[in-house]
């Protein structure tokens, strides 16, 4: 029996936007994955926590975005343990639960540039394959083994969307519609 092939797309998803959805979908098809899991960081070591909305909102936005897409799943493993959300610790935990699953960690150009600073990156490379996507404004080059995937490049970030929403500007087409509706309904990202 062939092993299950799972893509992991980690991030703060503050908020999740169409760039995340495109990355996940392109990886699913190009790598012939069985599923892609959106894995929100509980306590990312490289992000300021005061800029985040409540975890329940971030999780709900992911649920809304993927609810009718069979091959997209929500992975909450980083919320099941305490401490900072280091990818190494997460992969160790996932491998214990699913030893036969082949995991591919999906990253954008910003994270490719940041790989040398990742916690226990050398050990992590023995546990998981990395697949990366180019992102405007980042070199997206590394000496580490990252399989580069082709995808439409969109210059979009959660920061840009938060800034736009803070100014009460329209974000139609930048977010999945259900996510945008939820943000407006809950009054998220308003100053």
Taking only the tens place, the pLDDT of each residue in 90-140 is 999 999 999 999 999 999 877 888 889 999 999 999 999 999 988 766 666
CATH among 2.60.120.10, 3.40.190.290, 3.40.50.620, 2.60.120.260 for 5-153: 3.40.50.620
pLDDT digit string, tens, across residues 135-173: 766 666 788 999 988 888 788 889 999 999 999 999 999
Contacts of 52 (CB under 8 A, 6+ apart): 12, 14, 58
Write down the domain spans for the chain.
Answer: 5-153
Q: What global pTM score does this model have?
A: 0.92
Q: Quote the CA–CA distance of 182 and 188 in Å, as a whole number.
A: 8
Can you tell me the distance from the alpha carbon of 173 to that of 145, in angstroms, rounded to the nearest whole number?
A: 34
Q: Which residues contact 66 (CB under 8 A, 6 or more apart)?
A: 38, 72, 73, 74
Task: Name the helix (H) or strand (E) containing 174.
Answer: none
């Amino acid at each position: 029996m062939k092993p299950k092939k799972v893509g992991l797309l980690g991030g703060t998803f503050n908020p999740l936007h169409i760039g995340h959805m495109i990355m996940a979908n392109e990886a699913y098809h190009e790598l012939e994955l069985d599923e892609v899991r959106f894995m929100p960081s509980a306590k990312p070591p490289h992000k300021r926590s005061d800029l985040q909305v409540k975890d329940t909102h971030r999780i709900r936005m992911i649920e809304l975005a993927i609810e009718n897409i069979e091959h997209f799943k929500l992975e909450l493993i980083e919320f099941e343990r305490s401490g900072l959300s280091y990818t190494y610790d997460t992969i160790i935990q996932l491998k214990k639960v699913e030893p036969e699953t082949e995991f591919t960690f999906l990253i954008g150009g910003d994270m490719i540039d940041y790989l040398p600073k990742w916690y226990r990156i050398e050990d992590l490379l023995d546990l998981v394959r990395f697949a990366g996507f180019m992102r405007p404004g980042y070199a997206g080059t590394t000496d580490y083994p990252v399989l580069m995937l082709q995808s439409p490049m969109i210059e979009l970030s959660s920061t840009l969307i938060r800034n736009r929403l803070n100014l009460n500007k329209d974000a139609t087409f930048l977010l999945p519609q259900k996510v945008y509706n939820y943000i407006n309904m809950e009054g998220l990202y308003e100053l």
